[in-house]
Structure 1
């Protein structure tokens, strides 16, 4: 398997084994978002707030999330989001998952245009890229 951090970010990607250690070794900031207990948009926004260590003033909406992810003053130039139990979340909440993916992928494209990198890494016990 190609080491994910040796290539530019490309959509949602399976997380490598030991993503925290690899990210640190490549000088990439890593934030983890846990989706296991997310059941609606409000809980999703709280999971993102916690995982991204956002201030309480975070707007709890898609535009605010996009703004945070594309703001060079708030995120490191090389950032990986580790999306934990994401496939399960997508199966439970397909519409919410599609909305979130649209924001994440738009932010990834915008980051690339700025010369920045935003990896979107899916961590699952039995990762199945087809499930995304």
Structure 2
């Protein structure tokens, strides 16, 4: 009988938004930096779907997403940044309700 591999305690991903100035760039960077699955459709709904699945991040006990360059992205594309922040906040709430925290940390934090 084999023992299943232990679940990792925390999975941390880093999203680097340097040079990102629009929705397309944001979604492309998410695909690259977050290692989103092949089925990611590069739209807001697909991002939301990926962030409430997270099986592709390895089934950790908790998740952390570090977002670097948020202020520049927010200045360059305020409406896209607002939509993205809403999706990330919804994902945090979704996982909190299931007892598996997803914490999004912005550098610097949104106002």
> What whole-Å deviation, never above 9, does each CA across 1:48-92 have from its counterpart, x for those lacking one?
001111133311111111111111523334111110111121122
Partners of 2:99 and 2:75 lie apart in 1 by 33
Which one of 82, 92, 111 corresponds to residue 95 of structure 2? 111
Secondary structure, aligned partner of 1:83: strand
CA RMSD of aligned residues (A): 1.8
What pairs with 1:20-39 in structure 2 (closer than 5 Å)?
27-39=9-21
Q: TM-score when scaled to structure 2?
A: 0.81
Q: Structure 2: give runs of 5+ residues left out of the alignment.
A: 1-7
Q: TM-score when scaled to structure 1?
A: 0.70
Shift of 1:109: 0.3
Q: State the partner residue of 1:67.
A: 49
Q: Which runs of 4+ in 1 moved over 4 A?
A: none
Q: State the partner residue of 1:55.
A: 37
